[in-house]
């Protein structure tokens, strides 16, 4: 037995030494690669990001004007939810919940972002489309595209809206471009490798019909913000399999980037007619909300819950 243990220990030691040699070789390779990158200006420009690469390799259509539109936008449904005119209704027969009066339009029927810059992907895409179409319509066609994105909007459980820019006349050097205002991205479609483009859409229904409400199936998350590689959202779900006027739940959920499902940080439910709430995952919550932001949001959720249309 001792001989066996000694042999095992020697084998372990041999593996440790082998690993150290491999690490030393890897460190040398990384050092050489770093020297090459420093010596190669084009490689450095690639490392500086997608937008810098565009400046080196090609000019994007109306590049500066498009970035002037999308750079000031912020992906957030939080400000929309906080507006006093917004309310929540629950349809127990259809199994849906509705955010009332959450989309706003001006007197001419044009869509208006909250504070001129806040919205989720559909709202930001609609706003961007309206702003950049006059800049590009002479030579390009614009369309909305439903997509999935590997970070936060994973196929097939989530959807994301972007704008596609296609040349009216194609040639060997022509290209199709994508604008994603939610993430401030603009470039050739081939560089959106973490996107899966599902289908081209016509006019977005909420824009076409001037819809002020958003109706969602129960268990469908309405995104509120993305921060520190986590997505925060709110949803309405059943209460332990029951879904009626005395049994339903509001939940704040945090999804980590690349994950299909998230964890609750706050749950407020009607349990057989009695109001109950529970808080969980404080460390996770602090990744997306500071204490004041959380207290304000929790107060708002309580108000929406107690005033829900049933």
Contacts of 275 (CB under 8 A, 6+ apart): 268, 269, 305, 306
Return the pLDDT at 111.
87
3-state secondary structure the chain: CHHHHHHHHHHHHHHHHHHHHHHHHHHHHHHHHHHHHHHCHHHHHHHCCHHHHHHHHCCCCCHHHHHHHHCCCEEECHHHHHCCCCEEEEECCCCEEEEECCCEECCCCCEECECCCEECHHHHHHHHHHHHHHHHCCCEEEEEEEEEECCCECCCCCCEEEEEEEECCCCCCCCCEEEEHHHCEEEEHHHCCCEEEEEEECCCHHHHCCCCCEEEECCCCEEEEEECCEEEEEEEECECCECECCEEEEEEEEEECCCCCCEEEEEEEEECCEEEEEECCHHHHCCCCCHHHHHHHHHHHHHHHHCCEC
pLDDT in tens, 197-240: 999 998 888 888 889 999 999 999 999 999 999 999 999 999 99
- pLDDT classification of 118: cutoffs 50, 70, 90: very high
Q: What whole-number distance in Å separates Cα of residue 302 and Cα of residue 264?
A: 16
Percent of the chain with pLDDT over 70: 81
Tokens 């708002």, residue located: 300
Q: What whole-number distance in Å separates Cα of residue 69 and Cα of residue 125?
A: 11
* Comparison of pLDDT for 109 and 119, the residue scoring more: 119
Tokens 């609609």, residue located: 126
Residue (of 78, 76, 75, 101) closest to 88 by Cα position: 101
- pLDDT classification of 193: cutoffs 50, 70, 90: very high
pLDDT in tens, 245-301: 999 999 999 999 989 889 999 999 999 999 999 999 999 999 999 999 999 999 999
Tell me the sheet residues that pair with 91.
96
Residue 150: how many CB atoms within 10 A of its CB? 13
Boundaries of every domain in the chain: 12-47, 63-85+103-208, 218-306
Residue 83 pLDDT > 70: yes
* Comparison of pLDDT for 22 and 168, the residue scoring more: 168
What pTM was computed for the model? 0.77
* Comparison of pLDDT for 145 and 202, the residue scoring more: 145
- pLDDT classification of 33: cutoffs 50, 70, 90: very low
Return the pLDDT at 172.
83
Return the pLDDT at 32.
35
Percent of the chain with pLDDT over 90: 67
Tokens 């460390």, residue located: 283
Tell me the sheet residues that pair with 279.
266
The mean pLDDT of the chain is 83
Residue 77: how many CB atoms within 10 A of its CB? 23
Return the pLDDT at 58.
65
């Amino acid at each position: 037995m001792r001989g066996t243990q000694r042999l095992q220990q020697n084998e372990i030691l041999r593996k440790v030494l082998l690993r150290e040699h491999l690490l030393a070789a890897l460190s040398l390779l990384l050092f050489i690669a770093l020297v090459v990158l420093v010596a190669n200006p084009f490689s450095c420009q690639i490392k500086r990001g997608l937008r810098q690469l565009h400046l080196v390799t090609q000019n994007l259509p109306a590049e500066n004007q498009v970035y002037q539109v999308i750079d000031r936008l912020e992906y957030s449904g939080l400000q929309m939810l906080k507006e006093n005119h917004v309310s929540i209704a629950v349809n127990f027969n259809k199994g849906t919940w509705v955010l009332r009066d959450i989309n706003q339009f001006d007197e001419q029927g044009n869509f208006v972002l909250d504070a001129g810059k806040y919205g989720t992907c559909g709202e930001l895409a609609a706003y961007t489309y309206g702003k950049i179409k006059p800049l590009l319509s002479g030579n390009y066609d614009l369309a909305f595209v439903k997509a999935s994105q590997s970070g936060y909007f994973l196929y097939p459980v989530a959807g994301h809206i972007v704008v596609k820019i296609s040349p009216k006349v194609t040639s060997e050097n022509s290209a199709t471009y994508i604008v994603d205002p939610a993430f401030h991205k603009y470039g050739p479609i081939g560089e959106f490798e973490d996107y899966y483009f599902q289908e081209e859409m016509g006019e977005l229904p909420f824009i076409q019909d001037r819809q002020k409400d958003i109706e969602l199936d129960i268990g469908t998350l309405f995104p509120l913000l993305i921060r520190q590689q986590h997505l925060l959202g709110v949803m309405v779900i059943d209460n332990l399999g029951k879904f009626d006027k005395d049994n339903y739940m509001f939940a704040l959920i945090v999804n980590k980037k690349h994950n299909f499902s998230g964890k609750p940080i706050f749950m407020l439910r009607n349990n057989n007619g009695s109001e109950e709430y529970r808080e969980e995952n404080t460390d996770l919550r602090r990744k997306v909300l500071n204490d004041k932001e959380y207290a304000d949001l929790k107060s708002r959720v309580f108000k929406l819950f107690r005033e829900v249309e049933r």
